[in-house]
Amino acid sequence: MELSVSDLAVSLGKRRVLHGIDAVLRPGRVTAILGPNGSGKSTLVRTLAGLLDPDTGQVKLGGKLLARLEPRERARRIGYLPQEATVHWDLRVADLVALGRLPHRAPFAGLSAEDLAAIDTAIETTAIGPLADRLVTQLSGGERARVLLARVLAGQPQWLLADEPLASLDPVHQLDLLDRLRGLAATGMGVVIVLHDLVQAARAADDVLLLRDGRTVAFGPAETALAHQPLRDAFGVEVMVIGDDQGRLLPVPIGRTKTA
């Protein structure tokens, strides 16, 4: 099911933060949203998750208005991982991950075999098995980030919207997570991630949406959107493009674009 926005404008307080965004995001692909600080990435992801109401325009899932979906149904379809998510309760990791099944469970019902299988898969996908009996409040930032992702994945959403999921991860866990997100997209899930690193985006994303000042600079296949000119327009940055061992072109930032 496609997730789409048309002519989207969103305000936070009195400030218009997103202007006229049009995009059709496709399932089975990884879409990265990139742009300078304050360009509206988190606001766009929160709007796609149905957590912010647009001033104008629409968000649709499979052709239906997201705003018309009942919250539980929306939670089953769209998994949202916020930036800098925190946990205030002294929960065991496995119990926190199990909370991801709530949209699927009847009130007061125990965990079904299906719930347990989904929890196991989420734990395996995020490689947090060794942490399962630890308290969430006693984990490192990167460990906690993987646990919170596992909670979202346990809900087996059709769409995963993750705001800077790599931010607190070491390089190996960053690479692992990007591989796993690609693996989830290969199973048909729609994956949307906010990223800052151009190289990681080129490596992981099928499609890229570049924002600047709340407007779309480019939206399309990663190799097109991460080319020299769109990156100049979005970030004011020059890149050197290098090839990796799998033939992908990776844009490495080398300096600010000089203005005439």
User: Does residue 39 bind ligand ATP (CB under 6 A)?
Assistant: yes
Which residues contact residue 166 at a Cβ distance below 8 angstroms, ignoring those fewer than 6 apart? 174, 177, 178, 193, 195, 197, 200
* Nearest approach, Cβ of residue 91 and ligand ATP (Å): 27
Are 233 and 212 spatial neighbours (Cβ–Cβ below 8 Å)? yes
Instruction: Tell me the HSE value of 11 on the side-chain side, using a 13 A CA sphere.
Output: 6
- Using the rule CB under 6 A, give the single segment among 37-45, 112-120, 143-151, 198-206 that binds ligand ATP: 37-45
Site for ligand ATP in 59-78 (CB under 6 A): none
Among 25, 40, 185, 190, binds ligand ATP (CB under 6 A): 40
* Nearest approach, Cβ of residue 134 and ligand ATP (Å): 29
* Nearest approach, Cβ of residue 122 and ligand ATP (Å): 26
To the nearest 10°, the Cα dihedral for 16, 194, 68, 118?
-160
Rounded CA separation 17/12 (Å): 7
User: Does residue 16 bind ligand ATP (CB under 6 A)?
Assistant: no
Element (H, E) at 110: none
Rounded CA separation 251/186 (Å): 24
Q: How far apart are the first and last CA of the chain?
A: 45
User: Does residue 165 bind ligand ATP (CB under 6 A)?
Assistant: no
- Using the rule CB under 6 A, give the single segment among 12-20, 141-149, 174-182, 240-248 that binds ligand ATP: 12-20
* Nearest approach, Cβ of residue 161 and ligand ATP (Å): 13
User: Does residue 13 bind ligand ATP (CB under 6 A)?
Assistant: yes
User: Does residue 187 bind ligand ATP (CB under 6 A)?
Assistant: no
Are 23 and 60 spatial neighbours (Cβ–Cβ below 8 Å)? no
Among 8, 21, 35, 78, binds ligand ATP (CB under 6 A): 35
For the beta carbon of residue 46, count every other beta carbon within 10 angstroms: 18
- Using the rule CB under 6 A, give the single segment among 9-17, 72-80, 132-140, 177-185 that binds ligand ATP: 9-17
The smaller minimum CB distance to ligand ATP, of residues 17 and 191, is found at 17
Rounded CA separation 146/170 (Å): 12
Are 188 and 27 spatial neighbours (Cβ–Cβ below 8 Å)? yes
Please name the amino acid found at residue 160.
Answer: L
Read off the DSSP letter of residue 137.
G
The pair of structure tokens assigned to 211 is 């924002």
* Nearest approach, Cβ of residue 63 and ligand ATP (Å): 26
Among 3, 5, 17, 217, binds ligand ATP (CB under 6 A): 17
The smaller minimum CB distance to ligand ATP, of residues 43 and 174, is found at 43
Among 7, 12, 56, 130, binds ligand ATP (CB under 6 A): 12
The smaller minimum CB distance to ligand ATP, of residues 12 and 24, is found at 12
Q: Which residues in this chain contact ligand ATP in the complex, by CB under 6 A?
A: 12-13, 15, 17, 35, 37-43
